Amino acid sequence: MTIEQLDDRATMVRRFNRFYTDKIGVLHEHLLDSAFSLTELRILYELAHRSGLTAADLARELSLNPGYLSRVISGFEKKGLLERVRSEADGRVAQLRLTELGCTTFAPLDETSQREVAAMLGQLSVPEQHQLVEAMQQIEGLLGQRPSSYLLRDPRPGDMGWVVHRHGVLYAQDYGWNAEFEALVADIVAKYLRDFDSSAERCWIAEKDGKVAGSVFVVRHDESTAKLRMLYVEPSARGMGIGRRLVEECLHFAKFAGYKKMLLWTNSILVGARDIYAKTGFEKIAEESHHSFGKDLIGETWARDL
C-alpha cells in the first residue's frame, strides 16, 4: 500500500466520522436536552448498566484522564447521583454505584436516546437494519483490541444447527451429559424458529475470526417476563468477555421490548455461567434437585428486574 492510498482511506474514515457524529447529534454541547455532556452521559451509562465498576475501570475502558474523571465523579457525588461502596471481595477497593436519584435521573435520558436511535433505524427496512448493525459490529471488531476482537450478529442459515451441535458436543465433553440435553436444545431451537416474534424475541451469534464463537437467546416467558436461554461460548473464545456481553445484550433488548423482568434456568454445576449471571444483576430465587441428561443435578432459577 502506498502512502497516497493510506491517506485516501484516512480521509474516508474522517468523512464517515463527521457524518456519523452529526447523525447522532453528539456535536451538541449538551445532549438530549440535559445538563450533561457526552462524556458525563457515557459515565452514567456504564454505571447504570454494569455493577462493580471502579474509577480505574472507567478511566481505562472509556479512555478518560483520571484527573478529569475524578472531578466528574466528585461532581456527581455532590449532586447525590452516585456513591462509593466498598467491594465485598476486597474492602480496600471502592466501587461506584448510582444512587436512587442517579437512576431516576438517567433513566429518561437513556430511554430518550434509545427511542431516537430506534426511530433512525425505523427508517430502514429490516434487512437494512441487520446490515447496518453488522457493519458497526465489524468496525468495532476491527478497531478493537486484537486478537480478542469479535462481533455479535443475527443468526444466518445453518447457525441454528451449529448451535444445537455444539451444545451437544461441549456439554457431553465437559459434564458427561447424554443425548437428552441435545434433544432439549433442538426442541428449544425448533420452537424459536417456528414461532419467532421479532418484537419480543432475539438470538445473537458471537463470531470470531469468521467462526461461530457463542450464542444466546431471549424468548417470551409471559407478557411481562423474558427468558434468557442457551448461553454458550466456545472454549477457544472464553476469557474475552463474550459471555457477559451476550447477557448484557439480552438485558438491553428485553428492556427495550417492554419486559419488566428476566428469568433463566441453569444448573449449579455451570459455575462460569452462574458467575456471569451474578455479575449482571441476576439473583437465584429457587433451586431443586433433578435427574436429567443422565446425571443427578441441582437446577436453579435466577431472575432480575429490568
| Domain ranges (residues) in the chain | 31-123, 148-305
CATH for the 31-123 domain, from 1.10.10.10, 2.130.10.30, 3.40.50.720, 1.10.20.10: 1.10.10.10
Number of other residues whose CB lies within 10 A of the CB of residue 84? 13
For the cut 60, the answer to whether the pLDDT of residue 160 exceeds it is yes
**How far are the Cα atoms of 70, 133, 199, 256, 286 from residue 253, in angstroms, in the given order?**
32, 14, 10, 5, 25
Could you confirm whether domain 148-305 is CATH 3.40.630.30? Answer: yes
- Least reliable range by pLDDT among 134-138, 171-175, 216-220, 257-261: 134-138
Which of the four pLDDT bands, split at 50, 70 and 90, describes residue 193?
A: very high
For the cut 70, the answer to whether the pLDDT of residue 31 exceeds it is no
For the cut 60, the answer to whether the pLDDT of residue 180 exceeds it is yes
For residue 296, what are the β-bridge partners?
A: 291
Stated as kind and residue range, the H or E segment containing 79 is none
Mean pLDDT of all residues belonging to the chain = 87
pLDDT value of residue 33? 63
Beta strands in the chain (DSSP E): 82-86, 94-98, 151-153, 202-208, 211-222, 225-233, 261-267, 283-292, 295-305
pLDDT value of residue 148? 54
Q: Are 215 and 165 in contact (CB under 8 A)?
A: no
Tens of pLDDT, residues 87-142:
776 667 788 889 999 899 888 888 887 887 888 888 888 778 878 877 887 787 67
pLDDT value of residue 198? 87
The backbone torsions φ and ψ at residue 102, rounded to the nearest 5 degrees and listed phi first, read -60, -40
> Which residue has better confidence, 237 or 50?
237
Residue type, 141: G
Alpha carbon dihedral 273, 279, 285, 291, in 10-degree steps, equals 10
Reading the block at residue 56, the C-alpha cell is 480505574
Mean predicted confidence (pLDDT) in 252-280: 93
Which of the four pLDDT bands, split at 50, 70 and 90, describes residue 54?
A: confident
